[in-house]
Amino acid sequence: MTTTIHAPLEAIRSADWQPICAYADLTPERGCAALVGSLQIALFRTFDGSVFAISNQDPFTGAYVLSRGIVGTRNDVPTVASPLHKQVFNLATGACLDDAGVAVTTYPVRLSDGVVQVLAA
Amino acid sequence: MTPHLPNPPKRLVVVGNGMVGQRFVEALRARDADRAWTITVLSEEPRRAYDRVALSSYFDGADAASLDLVADGCYSDDTCVLHLGESAASIDRAGHSVLTTTGRTLDYDALVLATGSYPFVPPVPGRDLPGCFVYRTLDDLDAIRAAAEHAAATTRGRRSGLVIGGGLLGLEAARALRLLGMSPHVVELAPRLMPLQVDEGGGALLRDMIEALDVTVHLGTSVARIEHGQARDSRRMLATLADGTELDLDLVVFSAGIRPQDGLARDAGLALGARGGIAVDDGCATSDPAIFAIGECACIGERVYGLVAPGYAMAEVLADRLLGGTASFTPADTSTKLKLMGVDVASFGDALAQTEGALEVTLSNPVDRTYAKLVVSDDAKILLGGVLVGDASKYAILRPLVGRPLPGDPVAMIAPSGGMPSMSLPPDAQVCACHGLTKASICGAIAEHGLTDVPGIKACTKAGTGCGSCVPLLKTLLAESGVAQSTALCEHFAQTRAELFDIVRRDRIATFTELISVHGHGRGCDICKPVVASILASLDLGHILDGEQSALQDTNDHFLANIQRNGTYSVVPRIAGGEVTPEKLIVLGEVARDFQLYTKITGGQRIDLFGARVEPLPAIWRRLVDAGFESGHAYGKALRTVKSCVGSTWCRYGVQDSVSLAIELELRYRGIRSPHKIKAGVSGCARECAEAQSKDIGVIATENGWNLYVGGNGGFRPRHADLLMKDIDTATLIRTIDRFIMFYIRTADRLQRTSVWVESLSRDGTDGLQYLTSVLVDDSLGIAAELDAAMATHVERYEDEWAAVLDDPERLRRFVSFVNAPGAPDPSIAFVSERNQPRPVLPLLGRGKALEVLA
Ligand code: SRM
Ligand SMILES: Cc1cc2nc3c(=O)[nH]c(=O)nc-3n(C[C@H](O)[C@H](O)[C@H](O)COP(=O)(O)OP(=O)(O)OC[C@H]3O[C@@H](n4cnc5c(N)ncnc54)[C@H](O)[C@@H]3O)c2cc1C
Ligand code: SF4
Ligand code: FES
């Protein structure tokens, strides 16, 4: 299985990657939340093994719950649906697919020695 | 012979980089491929154009960057330049130049004024004090936020702010103060809120609804003076109203209307409108043919518009004109839908019935808190306008009909349940006011690009992406365009739920991956995954939290608890039939106390404990399971409760033991996964204290046995249950209910309650109930034995989901807030105390409700 890392190259070169958990701790097609400083980050492992990191806060309600949404695809784009009012977000870009103009922050994420790391300022 | 030289580019100067100025620049650049114009834009504000309409979302979590309106690359070369923080100071019309506040002179061939409006501040004594603000720019909002933060740091108890003006913007400002944690007051001179849009009846209801949001409304009065407060902290203020009321305040926001920013034009001697605004013709030219004005600073057709859509229309007209076109401005729609949280208000057309001879049709329902008024022509044939308060769902369909013949009886059109008469809008009716799109243009796009759904229309035409109020109409247009409303479950499965159920049952498919790889495509979504999870559970294919099934579950099933608005969960143990021992009641009280859970008796005769984070859920359930409780499945699409009355054991009228039967039924069907939730009720006599006829399954005792009712519903669309069988014995009753539930599980649609399902079963000539009788009682399909066996398997295999989780470390692993800090509670969750119980403090955001589209 290959792990695709979704991060711009210039970011990967810089330091400051935060180790989060073992890759094996991530349930396939499910999210989990991580606390990085005071930031809440939602991590997702999709069916093909990729890992994505976005903000855990649902921009529609303010609640920190996106990690608990259902993971899936829309037109082959990997997605998560907010567990509160079901708006769907593109995991790779953070864009809300049901409300143009709304987006959540995405964070670069990579795998190093079996450990998932994110780059969050 | 002289060589032919292209004309040198002409110089265009644009004053103002607001919403309209920016739209104009982009429209001109898009059409001006030959670069006939070089553009210089002056912006008084220190930042480039942003979405002023969405200004208030700045308090809902949006930041300045997300409000930015400037398209990428707009100012990337020297033929189009933006100067921030530099204003136009004066115009030299004879010399064709503009002098700026930094002392530069810019020559122009054409000059565009897009200076917008400024907030009107009435001459109230004290209006210049430091705590007084206006509400127009991001800088204004930053200043208000800073003052609110200062107040939070220094004021004990309630912090409060005053908004002067109860119009659309004033109410928006009041909501902003709420989001900043203040208790706002609103003072409005007129006898009602939103006096320009809403009539008296609507205004009264609007006031109630606004006050319910903790905003105090003062009508028919004004502010006499504002002073420094007496308290030691000199930043507190005291406002005295004309009626003598004194308000102790942290800050004051003026929102008493706007005035066109026409000073530059006035000084330059350009013609103005009678009540201000730079007078322009329908091509946006001022009295000087080299100078143009667009947006809120312009007075066009003797009107000054305070909305963005007419400004955008002017921007397009002018862009066309400057490239030699002949476009002209037509008077615009000023309908409004208030985007204030939780309050639905819409006004459109001639809402205040000012047309000669106009008639008003009003329906006011104080109980439902709705008010609706239509204004029609003197012959009651033409719709002129209207006001909707409390329920604005008909706005989308009514607004485009303004000025057109009424399609039906006006009373029926606004009656609460009165479905809209089926009507087809004429092609030129404006459907999306925000983007100026007609029915014809949207239907054209549907046909041309083969659009099949609302997201497709949004992406292609922009319709529906502004205020969102036209979205319901977009669905109608899709249907009218003959886009078959597909029966596919979602984009991943072309089948219906019932078809998928049959496939899974026939092929004994045990995983989602197997099902979707053979019968669907993609990796599923929040629609199909829970459906498949439910089908697998109904067919008893494993614990819902094991293996891949676990990833299919909605968050409620995933944590075996109901998610609440702040991300916490509620805990609902089963209390079968509503019967509970004193010992168990004490345990519930102790658990609630020890884990600080808000406690409430539900409408389903049991007790709900709210506000648990995910990490204590197992400990809470350990205590409950040890005391003999089990999951109540409040989180699942499953049997909820079997409500009972006390029955013949105690009640002097009872003819059967309704409690025993209710408990027996609840224990029999507990945990069964179904297309939607199932509720049942058992009453001990015809007095019906258990309200059984409003349940999916209702049982009422008779002298001779039981009457069985099915297909009842409370909720959104209440329906009385139908009598399926009379005077039957308990064995027949249970067998029939078994079959009813199993047949429902096999054949109903996703999220279809039994009420709708029963109605959907009507087949040529037979109604749904007759058909059900033939299947369940006469076994006309020959499946009764299968249905009976399926229920027997369910009853036999039932285990308590929570007990099974507590015994399994792997299943327990998910109950942490953070994967990298398993002990840490979620810091965003906080409570205050209300009536001696916890109450959630919501994170500051909340656009969901405000933007929610009534579909
Ligand atoms: C707790 C309770 C309100 C209360 O404090 O009394 C409640 C709370 C909720 N109801 Fe209800 N309903 C509750 C009794 C009812 C009743 C009364 C009854 O059951 O006798 C009704 C009308 C009867 C009916 O269903 O026909 C009712 C009609 C609804 C509906 C509308 C269903 C419909 O067919 O239109 C929904 C929405 C839905 O299910 O899609 C809903 C949904 C909900 C949800 C699940 C909304 C949600 O998704 O968050 C609420 C979550 C409960 C929680 O977190 O624990 N609730 N709800 C009641 C729980 C009863 C119980 O013990 O399980
Ligand atoms: C809180 C709020 C909510 C609103 N909600 C809605 C809504 O729901 N629907 C709706 O249709 N409309 C709404 N509006 C109104 C909408 O924002 C305006 O109609 C729109 O912004 C007008 O655009 P404009 O370009 O004409 O003016 P503005 O956006 O005001 O832009 C004018 C710009 O010109 C600048 N300027 C002025 N003088 C000079 C000068 N001499 N030199 C250089 N620059 C100058 C100003 O600083 C300003 O930046 C709302 C407005 C506010 C404040
Ligand atoms: S329904 Fe009948 S038995 Fe039950 S409480 Fe009411 S009167 Fe008594
Ligand atoms: S009318 Fe506002 S988005 Fe269409």
pLDDT tens digit sequence for A40-56: 999 999 998 899 999 99
The single-letter code of the amino acid at A73 is T
Is pLDDT of B721 > 50?
yes
Q: Residue B418's Cα: distance from chain center in Å?
A: 22
The one-letter amino acid at B603: G
Note the pLDDT of residue A15: 60
Whether residues A63 and B828 touch (CB distance < 8 A) is answered with yes
Quick check: B847 pLDDT over 50? no
β-sheet bridge partners, residue A5: A51
The structure tokens listed for B389 are 């308060």
Atom of ligand 1 nearest to the CA of B714: 26
Task: Determine whether the interchain pair A73/B558 forms a contact, defined as Cβ–Cβ distance below 8 Å.
Answer: no
Percent of chain B with pLDDT over 90: 58
3-class SS at B177? helix
Residue of B nearest to A41 (CA): B818
The dihedral over CA atoms of B254, B259, B260, B264, expressed in degrees to the nearest 10, equals -90
Contacts of B752 (CB under 8 A, 6+ apart): B675, B676, B760
Return the CATH fold of A2-118.
Answer: Rieske Iron-sulfur Protein (2.102.10)
Nearest to B828 among A30, A64, A76 (CB): A64
CA distances from residue B734 to A106, B664, B699, B824 in whole angstroms, order as listed = 54, 10, 10, 48
Task: Average the pLDDT over B258-274 and give the result.
Answer: 95
Closest CA to B307 of B434, B446, B213: B434
**Which has the higher per-residue pLDDT, B827 or B582?**
B582
**More confidently predicted of B337 and A24:** A24
Distance (Å, whole) CA B645 – CA B599: 23
Q: Are the C-beta atoms of B483 and B452 separated by less than 8 Å?
A: yes
Q: How far apart are the first and last CA of chain A?
A: 30
Residue B414 exposed, middle or buried by CB count within 10 Å (0-12, 13-18, 19+)? buried
Q: Compute the average pLDDT of residues B592-597.
A: 96
Tell me which of A21, A61, A67, A87 to substitute to probe the interface with B (most B C-beta atoms closer than 10 Å): A61
Average pLDDT over residues B284-298: 97
pLDDT at B848 over 70: no
| Secondary structure tally for chain A: helices H, strands E | 1, 10
The confidence score (pLDDT) of residue B658 equals 97
Q: Given pLDDT bands bounded at 50, 70 and 90, which one contains residue B194?
A: confident
| Per-residue confidence (pLDDT) for residue B342, from 0 to 100 | 61
Q: How confident is the model at residue B418 (pLDDT cuts 50, 70, 90)?
A: very low
Q: Indicate if ligand 1 lies below 6 Å from the C-beta of B562.
A: yes
Put simply, the answer to whether B826 touches A40 (Cβ < 8 Å) is yes
Confidence at residue B366, expressed as pLDDT on a 0 to 100 scale: 72
- Map residue A44 onto helix, strand or coil: strand
pLDDT at B452: 85
Contact A35 B565 (CB under 8 A): no
**pLDDT category, B423, cuts 50, 70, 90?**
low
Q: At what angle do helices B138-154 and B168-179 cross, to 10 degrees?
A: 40
The stretch B706-728 carries a mean pLDDT of 92
Tokens of B348: 């459109």
Does pLDDT of B101 surpass 90? yes
- With beta carbons less than 8 A apart as the criterion, state whether B372 and B396 touch: no
Residue B689 near ligand 3, beta carbon < 6 Å:
yes
Cβ proximity of B483 and B447 under 8 Å: no
pLDDT, averaged across chain B: 88
Chain A residue numbers with beta carbons less than 8 Å from the beta carbon of B826 are 33, 40, 64
Interatomic CA distance for residues B401 and B466, integer angstroms: 20
Residue among B643, B649, B658 to mutate when testing ligand 3 (max atoms within 8 A of CB): B658
The candidate with the shortest Cα–Cα distance to A55, out of A112, A106, A17, A9, is A106
Query: H helices within B60-199, ranges in order?
Result: 64-67, 138-154, 168-179
Q: What is the pLDDT of residue B795?
A: 94
Task: Please list the alpha-helical segments (H only) found in B230-384.
Answer: 263-267, 308-322
Continuous segment of H or E residues that includes residue B430: strand B430-432
Q: Which long-range contacts (CB under 8 A, 24 or more apart) does B783-792 make?
A: B783/B743, B784/B739, B787/B738, B787/B739, B787/B742, B787/B743, B788/B735, B788/B738, B788/B739, B790/B539, B790/B742, B791/B738, B791/B739, B791/B741, B791/B742
Share of chain B above pLDDT 70, in %: 94
- For residue B402, what are its two tokens? 């303004």
Residue B3 confidence class, pLDDT cut points 50, 70, 90: very low
Compute the Cα dihedral for A70, A71, A74, A79 and give only its sign: positive
The residue of chain A with its CA nearest to that of B815 is A32
**Which one has a higher pLDDT value, B647 or B331?**
B647
Task: Report residue B230's pLDDT band, with 50, 70 and 90 as the boundaries.
Answer: low
B54 pLDDT more than 90: no
Is the confidence at residue B439, as pLDDT, over 70?
A: yes
Residue B330: its pLDDT value, please?
86
- Per-residue model confidence (pLDDT) at position B411: 75
Ranges B156-160, B770-774, B817-821: which has the least confidence: B156-160
Span B64-69, average pLDDT: 87
- β-strands B359-365, B370-376: how paired? antiparallel
Please tell me which of the candidates A21, A30, A47 has its beta carbon nearest to residue B820: A21
Per-residue pLDDT band for B422 (boundaries 50, 70, 90) equals very low
Determine how many CB atoms are found less than 10 A away from the CB of residue B707. Answer: 21
Question: Phi/psi at B402 (nearest 5 deg)?
Answer: -60, 130
Mean pLDDT of B213-241: 84
Residue B294 pLDDT > 70, yes or no?
yes
Separation between Cα atoms, residue B678 and residue B637, nearest integer Å: 8
- Name the DSSP class of B599: E
The arithmetic mean of pLDDT across residues B66-90, rounded, is 91
Q: What pLDDT score was predicted for residue A4?
A: 47
**For A99-114, what is the mean pLDDT?**
87
The answer to whether residue B266 scores a pLDDT higher than 80 is yes
Q: How many CB atoms lie within 10 A of CB B8?
A: 8
**Dihedrals φ, ψ of B133, to 5°?**
-135, 165
**Residue B387 in 3-state DSSP?**
strand
Q: Counting atoms of ligand 3 from 1, which one is nearest the CA of B651?
A: 8
Asked if residue B337 has pLDDT above 80, the reply is no
On the question of pLDDT at B845 being above 70, the answer is no
The alpha carbon torsion through B409, B414, B417, B421 (nearest 10 deg) reads 40
Confirm or reject: Cβ of B674 under 6 Å from ligand 1: no
Q: What is the pLDDT of residue B164?
A: 96
Radius of gyration of chain B (CA): 32
Mutate which of B115, B140, B259, B335 for ligand 2? The one with the most ligand atoms within 8 Å of its CB, which is B115
Over range B265-280, report the average pLDDT. Answer: 95
